[in-house]
Amino acid sequence: MSDPQGPVWDAIGGVSRFAALATMAELGCADHLAEEPLNVEELARRCGAHAPSLGRVLRQLASMGMVRTVGPGVYELTEAGATLRTDAPASLRPAVRMIAETGFWYGMGTVPRTVREGRSAFVERFGPLYGYLKENPGAGRLFDDYMVARATPFAEAVAGRYDFSGVRTLVDVAGGRGHVLAAVLKRHSNVRGVLFDQEEVVPGARTLMAEAGLEDRCGFVGGDFFVSVPAGADAYMLGSVIHNWSDEDAVRILCNVRDAMAEDGRVLLVEFVVPDDDGRHISKDVDIRMLALFGEGMERSTSEYGELLGKAGLRLSRQIGLTGGSSIIEALPV
């Protein structure tokens, strides 16, 4: 017979497991262990840590499959642990460090208060998230790196699953570093890109495009999507943007896109869509993060996206499911 307390204890234990993971990411353990298996004392010396404390964390990390014991007190890195190496492709180190970042962590810890009062305790203490990231450039860079890692698995899927053959110009609205746009440009030589995001995010996007050899097929515009977005393109992509905002703000952004787009244009939202069942789904994890950090930002179901698009003079024309729980929602002018 299954233990009815099991799921509760498992969730409580998840906090300790995450704390161990956060320690591994913060101290850069994966980078040191990538070179060779190390004993606790040597790893602690290289990480600048207290060896007995680190030993306890490594024991937990071994139970999670991040490292494995290869001798008394000696650990080697596993394949899962190696995803936290700084130089791993789409390294998860910034993602873990961002979730463990002081403000984020405060936001998650104050979800009960947020729910009781109906406004984000994070926003109340630190102000809106994107302002917080501006004021804390270290956290801002970490956040942008985290976004790249998070979207890497579906960047290829967006480029591969959607038919971009008729698209001439694609504006990536709030495109971050532009990794999704880069994947589209790489695969579809007919498309010219415009990366639009806040001024301070644009230099990072320029670097990514230059590294991908795509700088000459991409324009860069800094600005505020509550004011306007670059006009005249035939396709506008918003990847993980609408979920940050209340219905009212989301409609304001979508109206600005609707005003800017060509009459035969289209809008592509890339979002985790909440399924209509009780099953576990990544959208529900991300939704609690939206609740904590934005208050009114949220993951939405297909019908909720349809309603939102309708209020901005658009209609949901197609939904294409991608691996990893996200979808492309295509919308056309009404």
Ligand X SMILES: C[S@@+](CC[C@H](N)C(=O)[O-])C[C@H]1O[C@@H](n2cnc3c(N)ncnc32)[C@H](O)[C@@H]1O
**CB nearer to ligand X: pick between 176 and 265:** 176
User: Which parts of 114-133 interact with ligand X (CB under 6 A)?
Assistant: 130
Which of 179, 188, 243, 281 is catalytic? The answer is: 243
Are residues 67 and 121 in contact, defined by beta-carbon separation less than 8 angstroms?
no
Three-point CA angle 167, 172, 178, nearest 5°: 115
Q: Min. distance of Cβ 244 from ligand X in angstroms?
A: 6
Q: Min. distance of Cβ 118 from ligand X in angstroms?
A: 22
Q: What pairing do the DSSP bridges indicate for beta strands 74-77 and 67-71?
A: antiparallel
Q: 3-state class of 75 per DSSP?
A: strand
**CB nearer to ligand X: pick between 31 and 172:** 172
In the shown chain, the binding pattern of residues 231 to 270 toward ligand X, with x for contact by CB under 6 A and - for none, equals: --------xxx--x--------------------------
Segments in 173-301 forming alpha helices (H): 179-187, 202-211, 247-260, 282-294
User: Distance (Å, rounded) from C-alpha 330 to C-alpha 306?
Assistant: 10
Buried b (16+ CB within 10 A) or exposed e, 14-52: eeeebebbbbbbebbbbbbbbeebbbbeebbebbebeee
Are residues 152 and 212 in contact, defined by beta-carbon separation less than 8 angstroms?
no
User: Distance (Å, rounded) from C-alpha 116 to C-alpha 122?
Assistant: 14
Q: Min. distance of Cβ 175 from ligand X in angstroms?
A: 5
Q: Min. distance of Cβ 147 from ligand X in angstroms?
A: 4
**CB nearer to ligand X: pick between 44 and 261:** 261
**CB nearer to ligand X: pick between 7 and 137:** 137
Sequence letter at residue 138: G
Among candidate residues 168, 203, 211, the one with its CA nearest the CA of residue 189: 168
Q: Min. distance of Cβ 200 from ligand X in angstroms?
A: 8
- 61 interacts with ligand X by CB under 6 A: no
Please select the residue that binds ligand X; options are 94, 103, 175, 325, rule is CB under 6 A: 175
243 included as an active-site residue: yes
**CB nearer to ligand X: pick between 40 and 328:** 328
Which stretch in 62-70, 169-177, 208-216, 317-325 sits in contact with ligand X by CB under 6 A?
Answer: 169-177
Q: Where do contacts with ligand X occur on this chain (CB under 6 A)?
A: 130, 147, 151, 174-176, 180, 197-198, 201, 224-226, 239-241, 244
